[in-house]
Copies of this chain bind each other. A is one copy, B any other.
Amino acid sequence: MINTIFDFIGDDSGEWKVTSITTIKGNPITAVSHLTKASSNLVQSDEGIWTLKGIVSNLRYTEKEEKEKLVAVQEDLGRPNATLAAFIPIRKSEAWWNLAQDERRKIMENKSQHTQTGMKYLPAIARKLFHSRDIGEPFDFLTWFEYSPTDADAFEELLVALRKTEEWTYVDREIDIRLMKKSF
């Protein structure tokens, strides 16, 4: 088992209960009532109603000082009180991918302050990025956020801030799936 590859399985039962699915941009996704995040491998999975695969990678834009701050304050996924989550698959346009590294970095940080904005909401909002673009998946990134109900307003603020940035003008497909942990 490789611990960098994950399947997000949408189905009619599973680990997280889907509370809403909103198509922000582009084609919608088939509705499901539950989602499971499962450690996986490279084999294409046909589980559930749909499966999206993503790979954890190294940070591709974060600079030394930002990285040190991030590592100091961020929390892991799976905190017992983080009973709410958001799973937001996004795809960026060809125009984005045709930019060079320094141009993308400039848009993300100098103009959009992506890392700074996210940092403001740490450690309350735990987040994780999964890469999908290079493995023939329909989305470029699968973003995952976990938080407790007391931080739900802060999470909405964070999303509003991210979606207002110049970086977000390059997003051409985005689905916002909200989740609640099933209590056993």
- Cβ of B103 and Cβ of A135 under 8 Å apart? no
A152 at the interface (CB under 8 A from B): no
A150 at the interface (CB under 8 A from B): no
- Cβ of A59 and Cβ of B136 under 8 Å apart? no
A44 at the interface (CB under 8 A from B): yes
Contact with B along A54-68 (1 / 0, CB 8 A): 011111111110110
Number of chain copies forming the complex: 2
In the docked arrangement, what's the CA distance between A66 and B135, Å? 26
Contact with B along A18-48 (1 / 0, CB 8 A): 0000000000000000000000011110000
Please give 7 more A-B residue pairs, beta carbons under 8 A apart, in addition to A43-B44, A57-B133. Answer: A4-B136, A5-B135, A55-B135, A58-B97, A64-B102, A64-B103, A67-B100
- Ordered by A's residue number, 26 sampled pairs between the chains whose C-beta atoms are within 8 Å are A2-B135, A5-B134, A5-B135, A41-B44, A42-B53, A42-B135, A42-B136, A43-B43, A43-B44, A55-B134, A55-B135, A56-B134, A57-B134, A58-B97, A58-B133, A59-B101, A60-B60, A60-B101, A61-B101, A62-B100, A62-B101, A64-B103, A66-B100, A67-B100, A101-B105, A131-B134
